[in-house]
Copies of this chain bind each other. A is one copy, B any other.
Amino acid sequence: MKLSKKALVTGAAGFLGSHLCRRLLADGYEVTALDNLFTGTKANIYDLFGNPKFSFVLHDITQPFWGQFDEIYNLACPASPIHYQKNPVETTKSSVLGIMNVLDLALKTKAMVLHTSTSEIYGDPLVHPQVEGYWGNVNTIGIRSCYDEGKRVAETLCADYHREYGVDVRMVRIFNTYGPNMHPKDGRVISNFIMQALANADITLFGDGSQTRSFQYCDDLIEAFRRYMGLDRVKIDSFMAEHGLGAAVLNTGNPGEYTIRELAEETLRQIPESKSKLVFEPLPKDDPRRRKPDITLAKALLGWEPKVPLKEGLARTIEYFRSLVASSKA
């Protein structure tokens, strides 16, 4: 009998963690799922609790965790401004102490690591679209810095654990991603619009709604994780060196652009019973940052690109939020 590979997922009860756990189980892994349940919720993974290959451990990754795994997926960190600004110091600690604990575990047990970084490390980018070689434009002392700078130094630690100790860590910089299991109150535009439409509340657009955003469906991202972890390390290292990168880091996102107005209109089209109206307000001074990934490297290295069209991903996401609203009314 072939033994299953063992995976550890931190942040397993969060939006992306829950999808990853499902995918790893489908791929035949034994999965240990860590979460402190600060922003994640057991509801996202409750259906997995009966699976003998799945274990949930309530654990905060700022504290060391020990165990023998083939692969570690480090997803733990509050990721939406509404959440991470609630406790900025703990946000930084979950990034920084979290990755230290993961890397120390990997070092001692020779586990591979996939670390989820973020497009936020580019800050307010001065280069469009963003390539992996761009260094970013981030304020060290602002109210978003707890997330941005925590994630930046986590990358540094990954790069140095690889260079110094040979830990096989692979980083992805995740751009705006959506799908079922998103937190309904995470303050992001897709969850906001759907929840407003389902509640018959007005949908607020700033300016004329012509500013564009990129949206990646969660399954596309998880597919990139799995392909990346399946690659030979030597191949990755020579690829990164060829492209002038000092560590294994890939942008993962959907470069397709939609205007905010198109998103709102498509949302209302898919929720025809909604009485919500579009209302327009002046652009705020700190208009949300615009980012668009350059995914040339991920395409070349992983043979990957996003496949799920916004229309279809939105439909699945709306279905999820419908069931959430229905069960909260039940």
Contacts and interface: CB of A to CB of B under 8 A. Distances in A.
Interface of A: 87-89, 92-93, 96, 100, 121, 123, 135-143, 145-146, 149-150, 152-153, 155-161, 163-165, 245-247, 249
A164 to B, nearest CB: 6
Contacts of A157: 89, 92
Most buried by B among A142, A145, A155: A145
Contact of A153 (B87, B150, B159, B161): B150
B121 A153 contact: no
Q: Secondary structure at chain A's binding surface: helix, strand, loop or mixed?
A: helix
Contacts of A140: 121, 135-136, 152-153, 155-156, 159
23 contacts: A87-B164, A88-B160, A89-B161, A89-B164, A92-B156, A92-B157, A93-B100, A135-B138, A135-B139, A136-B138, A138-B152, A140-B156, A141-B155, A141-B156, A141-B158, A141-B249, A142-B159, A143-B246, A146-B156, A146-B160, A149-B156, A150-B153, A150-B156
Contacts of A89: 157, 160-161, 164-165
A90 B164 CA distance: 11
Given A89-B160, A140-B152, A141-B246, 8 more contacts: A88-B163, A89-B157, A137-B137, A141-B158, A141-B249, A145-B159, A146-B160, A149-B152
Nearest to A139: B135
Contacts of A121: 140
A142 B247 CA distance: 8
A141 B153 contact: no
A329 to B, nearest CB: 36
Nearest to A155: B140
A247 B142 CA distance: 8
Contacts of A143: 163, 246
Contacts of A87: 164
Contacts of A165: 89
A322 B178 CA distance: 65
A238 to B, nearest CB: 17
A157 to B, nearest CB: 6
B135 A88 contact: no
A163 B150 CA distance: 17
B246 A139 contact: yes
Contact of A141 (B88, B150, B245): B245
Contact of A135 (B96, B123, B146, B159): B123
Given A93-B100, A100-B93, A135-B140, A156 B163 contact: no
